[in-house]
Structure 1
Amino acid sequence: MNLQKLMKEAQKAQKKAAEVQERLGQMTVKGSAGGGLVEVTATGHGQIVGLKLQAGAVDPSDLESLEDLLLVAIQDAQKKAQDLQEKEMGRELGGIGQMLGGMF
């Protein structure tokens, strides 16, 4: 493969990666904890954009449990966002997309 062809392929891959990143910013995933007591919404980039609490999640005498539920739900949403990134990059760019997905 000559250098010029390799550069064109790299440019195509870069353009596709940018398109995937734009789509990921518009996609959302939900993470939850406590059987749905806490639900966190994140973009495909992992940015937290929403939080819902069920009444049973809040016990003023046990805020530590609520904190734990929040952490678990946030981690769940971020993991789902990471999985979504890898899936979308892999679909568009094959093996190299999965490597790039881990970079974002």
Structure 2
Amino acid sequence: MSKGQGFGFGLGKMKELTEAFKKAQQVQEGAKQLQEDLEKMEIEGQAGGGMVKVVLSGNQEPRRVEISADVLGEGAEVVSDLVTAAMKDAYNKSTATMREKMEELTGGLNLPGL
């Protein structure tokens, strides 16, 4: 090893490392706020032209299911299919919302692996 080389960490590398830690801390703080925001959100999925609605939090926790009285006469199988379709719709919307919010949080930070 050459004299004065240390472990290959020059001042420039230390500055990059310090900046990376700062960015990681920003993401961590933003992620905590995002988690709180997602918990407060209500994301609705629908099926049957809105006759069945499923509401999830932004964290995909079930909140409620709303079933129109008009669809109840269609039979259990139809109601079950509509509830399942509404759940999938809500899940897809929730997943897209989480992805979008994470991209907003990490956008421009150029963190490896994110």
Give the alignment's Cα RMSD to 1 decimal: 1.9
Between structure 1 and structure 2, the one with the greater Rg is 2
Identity %: 31
2:104 to 91, 97, 101: 91
TM-score by length of 2: 0.76
Q: Which runs of 5 or more structure 1 residues have no equivalent in the other structure?
A: none
SS of the aligned residue for 1:49 comes to: strand
> Shift of the alpha carbon at 1:34?
0.5
Specify every segment of 5 or more residues in structure 2 that has no aligned partner in the other structure, as ranges.
1-14
**Number of residue pairs matched by the alignment:** 97
Q: State how far apart, in whole Å, the 1-side matches of 2:104 and 2:29 are.
A: 14
1:82 matched residue in structure 2: 95
Of the three residues 10, 15, 18, the one matched with 2:32 is 18
* TM-score computed with the length of structure 1 as normaliser: 0.82
